[in-house]
Amino acid sequence: MWDGKIGDSAEKAARGDQGRPRGVLYTSPMQPTRPAALARPNEPVIRVAGLAKEYRVYDKPEGLAASVRALFHRTSRVVEAVKGVDLEVHRGEFVALLGPNGAGKTTLLKLLSGIITPTRGTATVLGHVPWERADDFRRRFALVMGQRNQLWWDLPAAESFRLHQEIYRMDPVRFEKTRDELVDLLGVRRLVLQPVRELSLGERMKLELVAALLHEPEVLFLDEPTIGLDVVAQHTIHEFLRDVQRRRQMTVILTTHYMKDVAALCERVVVITRGDVLYDGSLAEIVDRFTTHKIVTLDFDDPPDRGQIERHGFPCEFRGPQVVLRIDRSRIADALPEILGSSGVRDVSVEDVPLEEIVAELFRADARNAAAEAAR
C-alpha cells in the first residue's frame, strides 16, 4: 500500500544535494513569489503580437579538407523558425497547434513558456512576459513534452511527485488530495512506486501528466503528448485531459500530428506553416472552408456495375461490393436519391472529408506556394 512517503533521495534532491536529471525542464523556482499579475476577466490569457524567432545555423561540408577550411571560413544561414505570429487565447480554451515538421510549433511553445527569447515581437502569458521568468509566472503554467522526461529516470514517480511538492511549495494536504485524484483518474496508482525506467512509454506519459498538473497550473502547454502511444493509451489520455481541463477551466495549447487528438479535445485549430499562421478558427469551420465535397460510401449486396456508378459523373473508388464517391456539397441533396435508386444498395453513409486529409492538403498547398515563390 502506497502511503505517499518517499525515501531520502527525493528529500536530498529538493535540498539541492543531487544534480538534476538530464533533459528535465523545471518551471518553478525555489524563491518566494511576488504577487500575481491581475488580468481583467475578458482579457486573453495569452497574447502574442509579431512574435518571431530566428536562428543562425552553420553548414558543415563533407570531407577532411573541407572541414579544415570550415574552421576559418564558416558558411552560415538564418532560419526563421517563427515569423511574426499574432495570437490570442482566452481562459478555458483548448487550442490545437498544427503544422508540418519544422513549422515552428515547438519553438512557439518554448517562447510562450520562457525557455528561449524571441528575436522580435511581444508576448504575455497570464500577464507576464514569459522570457523574463518571473517567479509567479513559473508557478502558474506547466509544459509537457512528449520526447522529454520530467520525472527522475531512476526513481519511482512517487519520489518525483514529492520533489515537485517541495519545488512548488504546495500545502501537504492539498498536494496529497490532488495527487491521489490525478493518479486515480489515470489508473496509475500501482505504478507510482516503480522506477520510471521500468515503465512503458504510455505509462510514463500518464505519470508525466500527473507531475505537470500537481501544482494546478492555469496554463498547460502540451507538445505531442501522445506520440508513440497505442490506441488505448491515447483514449485514456484524451478522457483525462478533457475532464481535468473542463473542471479546472485550464487554458491548454496542444501540438500534435495525430488528428484524433484534435477531434477529441479541441474546438479551435491554429495551423502554422513556415513559421506563420495559415489558419486560425474553429474545427468545424476548417472542414467547411477547405473542402467542397462530402464522402458517400455505398455498400452493395454484390459488386456493382462500374458503368452504372460512373455515369453519375463523380470521382469514385471501387472496393469490391463497396463504392466510395466524392460528391460536391451543393449537389448532395439532388444526386443522392438518384444514386440510391441503383439496385442492390444495402447501406449508405455520408461523411465529411477526414481532418487528416484536409490538413495534409493545406500543407501540400503551402509547400507548392513556397516552391513557386522560390522559383521566381
| Domain extents in the chain | 46-53+85-286, 292-351
145 — phi, psi (to 5°)? -115, 125
For domain 46-53+85-286, give the fold: Rossmann fold (3.40.50)
Name which residue leads in pLDDT, 6 or 214: 214
Report whether 92 contacts 46 (CB < 8 A): no
Tell me how far apart the alpha carbons of residues 336 and 350 are, in angstroms, rounded to a whole number.
Answer: 10
Give per-residue pLDDT as tens, 159-210. Answer: 999 999 999 999 999 999 999 999 999 999 999 999 999 999 889 999 999 9
Least confident of 55-69, 212-226, 227-241: 55-69
Tell me how far apart the alpha carbons of residues 18 and 359 are, in angstroms, rounded to a whole number.
Answer: 46
Name which residue leads in pLDDT, 66 or 158: 158
Mean local confidence (pLDDT), 124-131: 96
Concatenated DSSP letters of 295-325: EEEEEESSPPPHHHHHTT---EEEETTEEEE
Q: What does the pLDDT read at residue 27?
A: 39
Tell me how far apart the alpha carbons of residues 175 and 171 are, in angstroms, rounded to a whole number.
Answer: 6
- Max CA-CA distance within the chain? 78
Q: What does the pLDDT read at residue 320?
A: 84
Tell me how far apart the alpha carbons of residues 171 and 273 are, in angstroms, rounded to a whole number.
Answer: 43
Task: Count the residues in the chain.
Answer: 376
The percent of residues above 90 in pLDDT, for the chain, comes to: 47
Mean local confidence (pLDDT), 133-153: 89
Report whether 127 contacts 37 (CB < 8 A): yes
**Closest alpha carbon to 254 in 218, 224, 211:** 224
Tell me how far apart the alpha carbons of residues 209 and 214 are, in angstroms, rounded to a whole number.
Answer: 9
Least confident of 121-125, 192-196, 367-371: 367-371
Name which residue leads in pLDDT, 37 or 176: 176
Cβ within 8 Å of residue 30, ≥6 positions away = 167
What is the radius of gyration, based on Cα positions, of the chain?
A: 25
CATH class of 292-351: alpha beta
| pLDDT at residue 228 is higher than 90 | no
Name which residue leads in pLDDT, 139 or 59: 139
Mean local confidence (pLDDT), 285-309: 83
Q: Is the dihedral of CA 176, 179, 184, 189 positive or negative?
A: negative
Q: Is the dihedral of CA 11, 17, 22, 24 positive or negative?
A: positive
Give the H or E element holding residue 255: strand 251-255
Tell me how far apart the alpha carbons of residues 52 and 49 are, in angstroms, rounded to a whole number.
Answer: 9
Mean local confidence (pLDDT), 77-105: 92
**Closest alpha carbon to 4 in 121, 162, 117:** 162
DSSP 69: H
- Cell 472542414 identifies what position? 287
Concatenated DSSP letters of 153-204: TTSBHHHHHHHHHHHHT--HHHHHHHHHHHHHHHT-GGGTTSBGGGS-HHHH
**Closest alpha carbon to 155 in 24, 305, 346:** 24
Q: How confident is the model at residue 3 (pLDDT cuts 50, 70, 90)?
A: low
Q: What does the pLDDT read at residue 25?
A: 38
- Cell 508513440 identifies what position? 228
Give per-residue pLDDT as tens, 49-62. Answer: 999 999 988 888 78
DSSP 190: G
Mean local confidence (pLDDT), 327-342: 81
